[in-house]
Amino acid sequence: MRVLVVDDEVDLAQAIARGLRREGYAVDVAHDGEEALEKARLTPYDLICLDITMPKMDGRAVCRAIRAEPVHAEPPRILMLTARDEIQDRVAGLDDGADDYLVKPFAFPELTARVRTLMRRDAASTGSLLRVGSITLDTAAHSVSRSGDPVSLTSKEFALLRYFMGQPGVVISQETLLEHVWDENADPFTNTVRVTVGTLRRKVTIDGEEPPIETVIGAGYRLLDLPAE
């Protein structure tokens, strides 16, 4: 999943970005409202962590602009991060189109819990668990198992599997995976997506059984909803 962190406090923005990357998210950073809006128009972010008080254009204006000018098929979730803790401020932010509101200072585990909740796409999932066939992914514990056996994944493989599990049975193109699982520093001309999908497929495949990730030639990849043993 791809996240944009927007805050004019450079150290805070970088700290949030580092923490979210450790959780397996692809993260870009912006330090003012105009830069944030420009990036949001160019990239289909899954979630934007958006500070309110910023130079050039405040977070509320950015939020309203994103909601008024939807340019991507799937609009981003927006989590407001702000020191303003008055009820009217929270209501105003939500009325502007924010999905959630977190008051500074906050504990990082609370931020990640709210991010997980907002990013949860699978309506059948409960709590922090995603299940597709014999695969179970726990977003809070950052763990994966297949048929009850643990699977060790890198952060990028975990993020890739989480994205697949949000859309089981759907063919997802390499370009879409690059946009949502990798950040703006990824080189689109490398074979990084193909290689990462390949290693992930090997790790979640049980010997003698059909691989749960299928390559659809000319179109992309698909996570199969294979029955659990």
Asked whether the predicted pLDDT for residue 124 surpasses 50, the reply is no
Q: What pTM was estimated for this model as a whole?
A: 0.73
Measured CA to CA in angstroms, residue 97 lies from 51, 59, 67, 68, 76 at distances of: 14, 11, 6, 9, 10
C-beta of residue 115 within 8 angstroms of C-beta of residue 20: yes
pLDDT band at 220 (very low <50, low <70, confident <90, very high): very high
Instruction: Identify which has the larger pLDDT, 110 or 185.
Output: 110
| Residue ranges of domains in the chain, CATH in brackets | 2-119 (3.40.50.2300), 129-223 (1.10.10.10)
Q: What is the mean pLDDT of residues 10-16?
A: 94
Query: Would you state the structure tokens that stand for residue 70, as one six-digit string?
Result: 């939807």
pLDDT at 99: 92
Q: What is the mean pLDDT of residues 27-44?
A: 94
The number of CA neighbours under 13 Å toward the Cβ of 172 is 25
Question: Reduced to 3 states, what is the DSSP secondary structure of residue 177?
Answer: helix
Q: Which helix (H) or strand (E) holds 90?
A: helix 87-95
C-beta of residue 216 within 8 angstroms of C-beta of residue 171: yes
pLDDT band at 228 (very low <50, low <70, confident <90, very high): low
> What size, in residues, is the chain?
229
Measured CA to CA in angstroms, residue 47 lies from 40, 77, 120, 197 at distances of: 10, 4, 11, 23
pLDDT at 227: 66
pLDDT tens-digit profile of 44-75? 999 999 999 898 899 999 999 999 987 787 88
pLDDT band at 90 (very low <50, low <70, confident <90, very high): confident
